A and B are shown apart, each in its own frame.
Chain A
Amino acid sequence: MKKVIIIGNPNTGKTTLFNSLTRSNAHTGNWHGVTVDALQKVVKYKSQEYMFIDIPGLYSLNYFSMEEKVSADVIAQNRDAIFLYIVDANCLERNLYLAMQLIEQGVQFNIIINNYKYFKKQGNSIDVQKLSNLLQRKCIVADARKVKLNDDILSVPVINTHTDYVDNLPIEKIETILQKNNINNTKQKAFNILENEIIDEKLPENDINLIKKYFNNYFDYLLKCRYEKINNICQKCLNYRQKRAYGESKLDKYLLNKILFFIIFGAIIFSGMFLIFFLVGPILTDLFLNVINFAVKMPIMAIIEKVTSSEFLINFFDQGVFSAGLAVLGFLPQVCLLFMMLAVLEESGLLSRMAFMLDDLFYPLGLNGKSAYSMLMGFGCSTTATLTAKNMTEKNARVKTAILTPYMSCSAKLPVYSVIAGSIFGAKSFWVILGLYLLGIVVAILLAFVLEKTILPSKNSDFLLEFPPMRAPSIGQFVKVAYTNAKHFFVKVFTIIFGVNIIVWLLSNINFSLTYVGESGDSITYGICRFISPVFAPLGLNNAYIVSALIIGLIAKELILSNISIHNKVDMDFDQIKSSIVAVGSAVVFTKASAVSFLVFCLLYSPCISNIAVLYSEIGKKYATIAVVIQFVLAYVLGALAYALFRHSVGYLFIVIVCVSMILVSLIMLIKRAKNRNFGACNNCNKCKNNNICHK
Chain B
Amino acid sequence: MISLDKVELNKMCIIKRLDFSDKALAHRLMELGLYQGVEIKTIKRSTFKKTLLVEFMHSIFALKTQTAEHIWVECL
Chain A residues engaging chain B, CB cutoff 8 angstroms: 59-60, 62, 64, 90-91, 93-94, 97, 195-196, 219, 223-224, 227, 240, 242, 245-248, 252, 256, 258, 352, 355-357, 359-361, 363, 368-369, 460-467
Given A94-B33, A195-B27, A464-B28 in contact, is the A247-B46 Cβ separation under 8 Å? no
Given A247-B59, A356-B51, A360-B47 in contact, is the A461-B64 Cβ separation under 8 Å? yes
Q: Are B53 and A467 in contact (CB under 8 A)?
A: yes
Q: Given A62-B27, A356-B62, output 5 extra A-B contacts at Cβ < 8 Å.
A: A90-B58, A360-B49, A361-B48, A464-B28, A464-B29
Query: Quick one: closest B residue to A61, CB to CB?
Result: B31
Given A463-B51, A463-B64 in contact, is the A246-B59 Cβ separation under 8 Å? yes
Q: What are the residues of chain A within 8 A of B24 when measuring CB–CB? A: 64, 196
CA distance A363 to B52 in the complex (A): 13
Q: Are B61 and A223 in contact (CB under 8 A)?
A: no
Query: Quick one: closest B residue to A469, CB to CB?
Result: B60
Q: What are the residues of chain A within 8 A of B48 when measuring CB–CB? A: 360-361, 363
Can you give 14 A-B contacts (C-beta < 8 A)?
Answer: A64-B24, A195-B27, A196-B24, A240-B58, A352-B62, A356-B53, A359-B46, A359-B51, A359-B62, A360-B46, A462-B22, A464-B63, A467-B60, A467-B61
Given A360-B47, A467-B53 in contact, is the A355-B30 Cβ separation under 8 Å? no
Query: How many residue pairs at the A-B interface have CB separations less than 8 Å?
Result: 114
Q: What are the residues of chain A within 8 A of B62 when measuring CB–CB? A: 352, 355-356, 359, 369, 463-465, 467
The proximity string for B residues 13-38 relative to A, scoring 1 for CB distances below 8 Å and 0 otherwise, is 00000000011110111111101000
Q: Are A59 and B47 in contact (CB under 8 A)?
A: no
CA distance A464 to B64 in the complex (A): 7
| Residue B11 is within 8 A (CB to CB) of chain A in the complex | no
| Residue B55 is within 8 A (CB to CB) of chain A in the complex | yes
Chain B residues engaging chain A, CB cutoff 8 angstroms: 22-25, 27-33, 35, 43-44, 46-51, 53, 55, 57-64, 66-67
3 closest Cβ pairs, A-B complex: A467-B60, A247-B60, A360-B48
Query: Quick one: closest B residue to A360, CB to CB?
Result: B48
Given A356-B51, A363-B50, A460-B66 in contact, is the A466-B60 Cβ separation under 8 Å? yes
Q: Are A464 and B67 in contact (CB under 8 A)?
A: yes
Given A219-B27, A369-B51 in contact, is the A462-B60 Cβ separation under 8 Å? no
Query: Quick one: closest B residue to A88, CB to CB?
Result: B59
Q: Which single member of B47, B50, B51, B59 contacts A91 (CB below 8 Å)?
A: B59
CA distance A195 to B23 in the complex (A): 11
CA distance A356 to B31 in the complex (A): 22
CA distance A461 to B64 in the complex (A): 8
